[in-house]
Amino acid sequence: MPRRFDLIVFDWDGTLLDSAAAIVLAIQLACRDLGVAEPDDAGARQVIGLGLVDALATAIPSLPPARYRELAERYRYHYLSRDHDLALFDGTAELLAELHSRGHTLAIATGKSRLGLDRALAHSGLGQWFHATRCADECHSKPHPEMLLELMEALVAEPGRTLMIGDTTHDLQMARNAGVAALAVGFGAHPAELLQAEYPVALASSTAELAHWLRLNG
């Protein structure tokens, strides 16, 4: 099949790494540490994919801005104490190797910090497959298109030849704002009905289904 997309950009948490539940728990534990009302699971899942400060401000709107840094530090403590126990979704490494062998350029656009992403790439062993990455502490947070715009410029890719893959509405909205196609995965943070409302080109229910779609359409 002719290749449709030169550049394929992945989100990280909830798309390649099965980490949504750990993020939710870390947000809730950080709130308990500070003695503030914690969001329920759905409320915490909704902010996954945003930059950390934006995520915490949205999930805990009653928190004074002066305490954002304190809450962020407690979140990092709880998440990093468990992150080495997190696993990639089944088939992730094989999918990336296959896409690389077919000549696609691969990149990451994530709400993680640079330090957090570098740690995750080193632990997972996936760093070898990605030509460039962008993080929320380097660019505007999703759904602002800056991460995708910078990746396309750095990797000399046209919007019409770029695909964004993610598990949240923030990913899909970022893609739309950057003028690129978006594919949703329904096994991460946001439920399928919310993802479908953003009109992705497809919604994959597993990594195997994602790999199959990319073989036919990527």
Q: Tell me which amino acid residue 1 is.
A: M
Q: Which residues are catalytic?
A: 11, 13
Classify residue 87 by burial, with Cβ atoms within 10 Å: 0-12, 13-18, 19+: exposed
Classify residue 105 by burial, with Cβ atoms within 10 Å: 0-12, 13-18, 19+: buried
Q: Distance between CA atoms of 30 and 73, rounded to whole angstroms? A: 8
Q: Tell me which amino acid residue 20 is.
A: A
